[in-house]
Amino acid sequence: MSSTKPISLIVSITFIFFLQSSSAQTVVKASYWFPASEYPVTDIDSSLFTHLFCAFADLNPQTNQVTVASTSQTKFSTFTQTVQRRNPSVKTLLSIGGGAADKTAFASMASNPTSRKSFIDSSIRLARSYGFHGLDLDWEYPSSATEMSNFGTLLREWRSAVVAEATSSGRPRLLLAAAVFYSNNYYSVLYPVQAVANSLDWVNLMAYDFYGPGWSRVTGPPAALYDPSNAGPSGDAGIRSWTQAGLPAKKAVLGFPYYGYAWRLSNANSHSYYAATTGAAISPDGSIGYGQIRKFIVDNGASTVYNSTVVGDYCYAGTTWIGYDDNQSIVTKVRYAKQRDLLGYFSWHVGADDNSGLSRAASRAWDATAATAIIIQKV
């Protein structure tokens, strides 16, 4: 028995190297951009990223084709060449759907072979004609066992189609990704993990929006990496749920927000987590971009707190309380992603950063962190 171990180790290592050199991405350091952020594409410091997502293309519910709003066509069709000026090797993906999209249209499209083909063929045509390197599906969310199964079928057919298109066009295969719920378990409905793992280059785990004034009357960490009680949502719980269900860590990309949520405290002296509030502050849903948070802190002399147990930041001034991720939270999450041998990280969204500060901190943290050699540990 013991004599077989070194052989299996060598075989495993050879296999891993083969996989990495033949097909897989080695790292994803990514962010999303969208036109309504009013952040100029030319301002993105693309040297801090390996991949950038351009969001969102729409699904036409009548034709089941992917389209881009006429007001966005110029920005989308020039996105790749614009971001490649500062970083010629950055890859771009066209994102389809998003949180505001009609999820019933996606469910309907995925339920039938003809409409799936319209979606798939039109998405490939659009990606190629605009010069994107890949496609990203943000269907938030498949919400029943049937929809999850159809989501899996869609992904398998999409993969076959991009492989066939690469062969016939002689061009590198389009990358395929999807943004998914932070956990593999979406309110008791399970994602089709095998279809996800076999069809997609990776998934973006949206590990945020855990607390917000729209659904929580008390303050809380909007994007905790850990929940000490182990009862609530957290990034770590999400990563564990996906990998325990069979997603390879190297297909998982951890998401974090470049925005926070602001609450109005019931009592200015009670400003820890789970403090009572009277609802949202600053904006109707309380959401506020990181750049605006930095400005709020300076303008109001706000107190800032980093909680290393949950990995989250908050600040407060008077009765205004904001939960968010600052440098230390982002850096800790990036180190976590590297040490767990995840493929990488992404943020929503690049335009909410403060002079690229979070993206710079994240990129440096990834480069400075040693990966854990899981394969050696297992043997």
Q: CA nearest 322: which of 373, 288, 370?
A: 288
Report, in Å, the least distance between residue 225 CB and ligand NAG: 12
Q: Do residues 256 and 329 touch, judged by C-beta distance below 8 A?
A: yes
Closer residue to ligand NAG, CB minimum distance, 178 or 315: 315
Q: Do residues 94 and 69 touch, judged by C-beta distance below 8 A?
A: no
Report, in Å, the least distance between residue 303 CB and ligand NAG: 12
Closer residue to ligand NAG, CB minimum distance, 218 or 268: 218
Q: How far apart are the first and last CA of the chain?
A: 13
Distances (CA, A) of 115 to 65, 110, 123, 157: 8, 7, 12, 12
Report, in Å, the least distance between residue 232 CB and ligand NAG: 10
Q: Give contact residues for ligand NAG (rule: CB under 6 A).
A: 228, 273, 307, 309-310, 327, 357, 360-361
Contacts with 248 (C-beta within 8 Å, 6 or more apart), sequence order: 197
What whole-number distance in Å separates Cα of residue 349 and Cα of residue 331? 16
Q: Do residues 206 and 182 touch, judged by C-beta distance below 8 A?
A: yes
Candidates 38, 140, 147, 157; catalytic one = 140
Report, in Å, the least distance between residue 327 CB and ligand NAG: 4
Closer residue to ligand NAG, CB minimum distance, 78 or 304: 304
Residue type, 218: V
Phi, psi of 323 (to 5 degrees): -95, 135
Catalytic residue status for 38: no
Virtual CA dihedral for 315, 321, 324, 328, nearest 10 degrees?
20
What whole-number distance in Å separates Cα of residue 41 and Cα of residue 33? 8
Closer residue to ligand NAG, CB minimum distance, 232 or 248: 232
Report, in Å, the least distance between residue 103 CB and ligand NAG: 33
Residue with structure tokens 């609450």? Answer: 263
Report, in Å, the least distance between residue 89 CB and ligand NAG: 22
State both tokens at 72.
């966005």
Cis? peptide before 133, omega within 30° of 0:
no
Closer residue to ligand NAG, CB minimum distance, 79 or 290: 290
Report, in Å, the least distance between residue 187 CB and ligand NAG: 24
Q: Which residues carry out catalysis? A: 140
